[in-house]
Amino acid sequence: MESVLTQLPALLGVLVGTIGTMVATTVTERARWRRSQNVRWDERRLDAYADFTRAVKEIHLVSLGMLSGHRPGSRTPILDREDGLARLAEADVRHTLTWEAVLLLGDATTVRAASTWRHAVRNLEQAARSLPAPPDNLAAMVGQADEARDDFYQAARDGLGVRGGTVEQFRRPVEGRIPTARH
């Protein structure tokens, strides 16, 4: 009995060490699994956003091509109406499919921004489809689509944790700011 009592502290030490090792291993493995899941979903979210961006941008560009003759100073080559309508139909299918992935994987802020961009481009598409009578506010519609695109890019980057500078391509006027002369 005395030998068991002298070995009891050593046995308790081994038991505590084993339990500690098991707990540490479990915690480490769970953390590793969570990180790998986050990376996996971020990769899928990035793919969904990139596919959606390409589809919406295609509709945007085709619409601008169709509207080019009605936009003073446009550098976009004029696109024939029939060819444009066919390309819009194809792009709309891609857009619809990619939108579902954004809805499934996107965070609320990014989905709202994507929806706003989508509707702004849809307005341009409707204007292109309504030719030969373009709307009076075509320049404002293009500006809204560009601004909505910038907002989507920023929301997507924020949601994915992408750091870096501004993504703005559309220059928002700042009230009260006087443009400086460039030399």
Instruction: Specify the residue for token string 């956003």.
Output: 49
Handedness of CA 142, 143, 145, 149 (dihedral sign): positive
Task: Name the nearest CA neighbour of 140 among 153, 131, 127, 154.
Answer: 127
- Look up residue 93 and give its two tokens: 């299918």
Distance CA 73, CA 65 (A): 13
Q: What is the pLDDT of residues 3-59, one digit of tens each?
A: 777 887 888 888 888 888 888 888 888 877 777 666 667 889 999 999 999 999 999
Distance CA 74, CA 68 (A): 6
Q: What is the pLDDT of residues 142-183, one digit of tens each?
A: 999 999 999 999 999 999 988 877 777 766 554 444 444 443
